[in-house]
Structure 1
Amino acid sequence: MDGPAELLRDFVNTYDVEGDTDELASPAELAVWLRERGLISGSDRAVDDDWALAVHLREGLRTVLRHGHEAAPAPVADLDAALAALPVRVTLASGAPEAEPLGTGATRGLGLLVKAIMDARAGGGWHRLKVCASDTCQWAFIDASKNRSRAWCSMRVCGNRTKTRAYRARRQAPAPAS
């Protein structure tokens, strides 16, 4: 994994809104996803509560990223509820605040995602992490543009669709009466 922002992007993208497919459709699939990223050991398993919490965390992240990082209280409250359910201790051992996941297995793996949020924030990747502005897409991406103004996951696909719809709507609008 390249870094915490990439991990969070990949986690949000486990659900494909446009295709309505979910890589985390069960506790077993959650365990596989966490294991493949080195967040849990080969013998760790996930249970229904872990899975429900993972989905809540993922969708809370998607909502906050979609509404911008200075999101309204409601989207932030959803994510905060998921974060509050995870056993994580904040320490100052290194001089800067760090998240230390507690628990074992999938619970600890989800706690490492909380740590990734804090690490992305501290490392500058958090504000570059976004969700596509297209309602039908909502794919997470990292905005590498100089001024962080990118709105779509892909200009060729989602950006083009959005601009074409707007153009057609303008062309079909009746001319203003003089």
Structure 2
Amino acid sequence: MSALTELVRDFVNTYDVEADNDELGTSSELAVWLRERALIGPADRATDDDLTTAIALREGLRAALRREAGAKPPDLPALPVLPLTVTINVTNDMASGVTSGVRPGLAPVADGVAGALAGIAAAVTGGSWDRLKVCAEETCQWAFIDGSKNRSRSWCSMRVCGNRTKTRAYRARKQGSRHPQGANTDTV
């Protein structure tokens, strides 16, 4: 798996929906997280505006990973412009000198925290974005890399989240079969 894909997954997972625990609760925690991944230098500091940008980016990525058309996270500020530039990667066949592929991408054009966040945003243009997903379990929303052959995984863990979802569906079906529509459920 691509290191860039893992970076995006880890960034999205800085907020644990189920436990309501945020690793990026303060601008200092954001700086530590970025520094631990060598995305910023030891002298770089994050501001409250950087934290706002990071949270908006993270939740925007989470919404995109849900693969919802037009999804916009609720009650989040608009994502500020990140310092990115468009890149064109050209692959040439050395033997023939023929261009064998052209791939557009994004690259950060700044240093510091803004550049690091731009790098995370740019990571979605490379790596295995199509294998990165968010758990379908509403209470979880954990980002995971789908390593299945046909890319059909829905849950971060079948044993936990998949089981929860399937158990709820089973109980709902059983509840519905006890009181069929139109049946008189009054007792005398």
TM-score bracket, normalised by the shorter chain, equals: 0.7 to 0.9
Say whether residues 1:169 and 2:172 are aligned partners.
yes
- Partner of 1:90 in structure 2? 86
Say whether residues 1:104 and 2:111 are aligned partners.
yes
Q: Which runs of 5+ in 1 are unaligned?
A: none
- Partner of 2:151 in structure 1? 148
Which of 149, 159, 163 pairs up with 1:160?
163
The CA deviation string for residues 50-74 of structure 1, in whole angstroms up to 9 with x for no partner, is 11000000000001111x1xx4124
- Partner of 1:72 in structure 2? 69
The code of the aligned residue for 1:19 comes to: A
Kindly indicate whether the alpha-carbon contact (under 8 Å) linking 2:57 and 2:121 is maintained by their aligned counterparts in 1: no
**Aligned partners of 1:55, 1:162: CA distance in 2, in Å?**
28
Alignment partner of 1:100: what SS? strand
Write out aligned runs for 1:52-67 (5 A).
52-66=52-66
**Aligned partners of 1:73, 1:5: CA distance in 2, in Å?**
22
Higher helix share: 1
- Off by >6 Å, runs of 4+ in structure 1: none
The two structures have a TM-score, normalised by structure 1, of: 0.85
**Aligned partners of 1:93, 1:164: CA distance in 2, in Å?**
47
- Partner of 2:4 in structure 1? 4
Kindly indicate whether the alpha-carbon contact (under 8 Å) linking 2:30 and 2:51 is maintained by their aligned counterparts in 1: yes
**Aligned partners of 2:159, 2:109: CA distance in 1, in Å?**
43
C-alpha displacement of 1:99? 2.1
Count of aligned pairs: 168
**Aligned partners of 1:147, 1:31: CA distance in 2, in Å?**
37
Write out aligned runs for 1:104-143 (5 A).
104-120=111-127, 125-143=128-146
Larger Rg: 2
**Aligned partners of 1:87, 1:19: CA distance in 2, in Å?**
33
**Aligned partners of 1:128, 1:93: CA distance in 2, in Å?**
22
C-alpha displacement of 1:45? 0.7
The code of the aligned residue for 1:160 comes to: N
Kindly indicate whether the alpha-carbon contact (under 8 Å) linking 2:64 and 2:71 is maintained by their aligned counterparts in 1: no
CA-based RMSD of the aligned residues comes to 2.3
Kindly indicate whether the alpha-carbon contact (under 8 Å) linking 2:133 and 2:144 is maintained by their aligned counterparts in 1: yes
Alignment partner of 1:99: what SS? strand
Q: Percent identity among equivalent residues?
A: 58
The code of the aligned residue for 2:133 comes to: K
C-alpha displacement of 1:117? 1.1
